[in-house]
A and B are shown apart, each in its own frame.
Chain A
Amino acid sequence: MNRCEIYSSAIPATPARGVVVRKPWARNLLTFLMVFGPGLIVMEADNDAGAVSTYIQAGAQYGTHLLWLLVLLLPITYFIQEMVVRLGIATGQGHAAMIYSRFGKWWGLFSLVDLQLLNFLTLVTEFAAIALALEHLNISPLIGVPVAACALTLLVLTGSYRRWERIVVFLCLLDLTWFALAFYARPATGEILRNTFVPSIPAGGLTASLVFLVVGIVGTTIAPWQLFFQQSCIADKRLRFADLKWARLDTLIGAAFTIIVAGCMMMTGNAALSHGFSFADPAQMAVDLSKVFGPWFRTGILLLMINAATLGTTAISLSSAWAYGEVKGWPHSLQKSIKDAPGFYGVYVLCVGAAAGLVLIPRAPLQLIILSVQVLAGIMLPSAIIFLQLLLNDKEMLGERFANKPWNNVVNWTIIIVLFALSLVLAIQVVAPKVF
């Protein structure tokens, strides 16, 4: 067999830039590194400002007792995003475009409007977190928030997907700092291992507060924008059929990294519980814990809050811009210049600018916005996942190679039913708290 391969290239006739290697392992490693990115970014960006708040709250209320829940969520997030990977690689199109073309205008419009609204409201919460952290760092939000919005805009305006991806992967890796914080704040190793691998109900039993926190954690870990983002990202990066196994590995690594970081956040919250601090938000907790661990701890948490919000903002805004561009038929790629894709970049800038501006308005109804995010997420997530599952069973479009196998369907329908039930519980709790 001829060992000379133009790896992953379907039509090798055209000259292309590439790297020549001699060993199969070097080829595999290099190919993986070239494919790596969308999976890590989509997962880690989901550890956004809202997630930091939720995981820390879980730690502060129940210590490390809910670590096992994160372990359970690892395969769930992976299986959902793996479907997105297959769909993106097979079709080379985004999720919004697929819903439009296969389910018609009504469902397409419903998904798009719901996604844009939910994304925008989530962006407001991201900037609210940036403003909060900046205040505790003694930086005026009136200066810091516009600077953050400009930086987030410049991040995508370079006309290079690769540049954007490298910077964002670097930001994702900054979250390794959570490991250091968790190491300093950690409880006994035995307690961590027991609560990670042995599911248990915290002392106090199965209260309504615990149920809603569990639902909140699930809702935080699996967000609707992730489906749209990763599929569009894969399409923009032009991943090839042969890249599928590496894209799956990227997604698995991303899922594992994100869940471990979430566990570290919970352990940091647990430190507040064990030292008897009660707080209203993570920034306040950072200030309280600095009395125990030193000022670096406070600065670390505040900077990580800003990093989480930054990651969330760029990913969520891009999912909006990609989705809108796909549906409108506009050029929509980070590889294009502003001149070539004005609509795509316009949507991104509008999302970032409007959310940042809204946060700076005195007495903006942030509480109402957070409530709306929860309700809309409850509506959006089940519908987006239903479309995803139906698309992955569309053998007419995907053929046997990319369509779901029977075992995929058993796993995915189980996940969908659980998510439906949890979304319903969350929505009922938010909309009609008297029911419980």
Chain B
Amino acid sequence: MILENVVDERDFLVIHPLDDVQEQKVETKHLGPMRMTPAVRIALLALRGYLVLMMLLVLFHALDLAGMFGKA
């Protein structure tokens, strides 16, 4: 029996998301890479700087452990 047939006008039919018809989501496929606005550019530049700093810290630690800066 199809539920739609028994739902009367005063009722609500609550459907679990997994049982529901899949809805159309925002389209992302045709967009391609994000536009490089100044805000995006600055944020990614800051991130690159942060990652370079972290890599330098790891390198420093590795060299320290290897005894390059005196007692390991």
Contacts and interface: CB of A to CB of B under 8 A. Distances in A.
B28 A93 contact: yes
Given A335-B18, A427-B57, A101 B28 contact: yes
B17 A240 contact: yes
Contacts of B34: 102-103, 390, 394, 396
B15 A20 contact: no
Contact of B9 (A2, A12, A31, A402): A2
Interface string B1-39: 011101111111111111111111110110111110001
B58 A375 contact: yes
A21 B11 CA distance: 6
A15 B60 contact: no
B11 A16 contact: no
Contact of A17 (B15, B24, B58, B61): B15
A7 B12 contact: yes
A75 to B, nearest CB: 22
A7 B18 CA distance: 13
B66 interface: no
Nearest to A389: B43
B57 to A, nearest CB: 4
Contacts of A239: 17
A212 interface: no
Interface stretch (A315-323, A358-366, A377-385): A377-385
A6 B6 contact: no
Interface stretch (A22-30, A223-231, A280-288): A22-30
> How big is the A interface, by class?
35 or more
A17 B19 contact: yes
Contact of B13 (A13, A20, A238, A402): A20
Given A238-B22, A241-B23, A397-B31, A7 B13 contact: yes
A4 B8 contact: yes
Nearest to A107: B44
Contacts of B43: 386, 389-390
B28 A382 contact: no
B3 A17 contact: yes
A11 B31 contact: no
Contacts of B4: 6, 12, 15
B22 A428 contact: no
Contacts of A31: 14
B68 interface: no
20 contacts: A2-B9, A3-B11, A5-B13, A6-B4, A7-B15, A13-B21, A17-B16, A19-B14, A27-B12, A34-B15, A102-B31, A237-B18, A238-B20, A238-B22, A241-B23, A383-B50, A390-B39, A397-B28, A398-B26, A432-B61
Interface of A: 2-22, 24, 26-27, 30-31, 34-35, 90-93, 98, 101-104, 107, 161-162, 237-241, 243, 335, 375, 378-379, 382-383, 386, 389-390, 393-394, 396-399, 402, 420, 424, 427-428, 431-432, 434
Interface of B: 2-4, 6-26, 28-29, 31-35, 39-40, 43-44, 46-47, 50-51, 53-54, 57-58, 60-61, 64
